[in-house]
Structure 1
Amino acid sequence: MTTYYRGPDVLVTSTGVRMGGRDYRLGDLAQVWHRRGRRAWGNVAGRGALVLAIITPVVIGAIGVLIALVIDASTTTTIVLAGGGVLIGLAALPLADVLLEFVDRSYDRGSHRLEIWARVDGADVLLLATTDKRRFGQIYRALQRAVDDDPTPSRAPEAR
């Protein structure tokens, strides 16, 4: 038996598939396809909050410099305000690096629900639903390889 994918709740082997707590023999899967489901707005909102957290210190720093240049204050006050604004803007750089890493990870997770479906005994069955694009791709490719390598009558995975 060949194992194509093994995860905490998914197992794809040369003899069958375990997804969603149910076992299926490869021969039971008459057709396999994937579908892109609804958008997960929570992921999009989280990504927006991260971008806002990156931009906010830069905007505050720019406002500080702008105020320092616009108001009619002493030279010392102008230098302090402009210097403070620049320091706040520069302080955002290390924070931005960390936050951009989180933004990258949010794109890896995706913002759409991705689903793997199969036709089993004439009924369409949802095998897997996730927003994790990388995990979805690994599982779907493993399922494709398992079905392609299965000696029973061919019914390769199709996209709908």
Structure 2
Amino acid sequence: MITYYRDPEVVVTSAAIHMGGRDYQPDELARVWHRHGPRSWATVIERGASGLLILFPIFLGALGVALALIMESPASTTVILGGGGLLLGLASVPTADVVLNRVDRSYDRGSRPLEIWGHVHGSDVLLLHTADRRRFGQIYRALQRALESRPVPR
């Protein structure tokens, strides 16, 4: 027996497939396919808001520098405003790293749920529903490999 994929909820081997709380033999699955669910606009909006979050410290820093140059104030106030603006602008670098890491993880999760379906004993059965694209890809490929390893009927 070859194990193609294993996690707490899904096990795909050459002898058996455990998905969705049920057990299947590879011979029971006449065919397998996948579908994309509806797009999650909340995820798309979150990504856009994250992009704006990166620009916010840069905007505040530029505003501070512009005020320092435009205002007719004592030199110390100009230096404080200009220096504060530069520091705020530089603060966007670590902020951008954190925010871009979060955006990367959101792309790993995907903006659509993914489903694996199978044709079992004459009916279509939902085998898996997940939003994790990486996990979905690993399970789908493992399922394909398990079904490819079935003995060919003579």
Per the normalisation by structure 2, the TM-score is 0.91
Query: How many angstroms apart in 2 are the aligned matches of 1:56 and 1:68?
Result: 18
Q: Quick one: distance in 2 between partners of 1:53 and 1:83? A: 21
- Could you tell me how far apart the structure 1 residues matched to 2:51 and 2:112 are? 19
2:50 matched residue in structure 1: 50
Q: Which residue of 2 is the match for residue 117 of structure 1?
A: 117
User: Does 1:96 pair with 2:96?
Assistant: yes
Residue of structure 2 in register with 1:72 after alignment:
72
Partner of 1:136: 136
Q: Deviations over 1:21-54 (max 9, x none)?
A: 1111111111100111111233323323332332
CA, structure 1 residues 40+46, in 2 after alignment: closer, same or farther (shift >3 Å)? same
Q: Distance in 2 between matches of 1:21 and 1:128?
A: 10
Q: Please list the CA deviations of residues 37-89 of structure 1 after superposition, one character each: whole Å capped at 9, or x if unmatched.
A: 11123332332333233221111111111222222222222221111111011
The aligned residue for residue 87 of structure 1 is 87
Map Cα deviations across residues 123-157 of structure 1 (whole Å, 9 max, x no partner): 1111111111111110000001000111155xxxx
Match for residue 148 of structure 2? 148
Query: How many pairs were matched up?
Result: 153
Query: Structure 1: which 5+ runs fail to align?
Result: 154-160
Unaligned runs of at least 5 residues, structure 2:
none
Q: Which moved more, 1:3-12 or 1:63-72?
A: 63-72
What is the aligned-residue identity percentage?
59
Q: 3-state DSSP class of the match of 2:91? A: helix
2:63 alignment partner in structure 1: 63
In the alignment, the residues of structure 1 paired with residue 81 and residue 133 of structure 2 have an alpha-carbon distance, to the nearest angstrom, of 46
Match of 2:29 in 1: 29
CA–CA separation in structure 2 for the residues paired with 1:126 and 1:93: 45
Structure 1 stretch displaced more, 91-100 or 9-18: 91-100
> Contact 1:116–1:127 at 8 Å: present in 2 too?
yes
Residue 8 (structure 2) pairs with residue 8 (structure 1): yes
Q: Is residue 36–residue 115 contact of structure 1 (8 Å, CA) maintained in 2?
A: yes
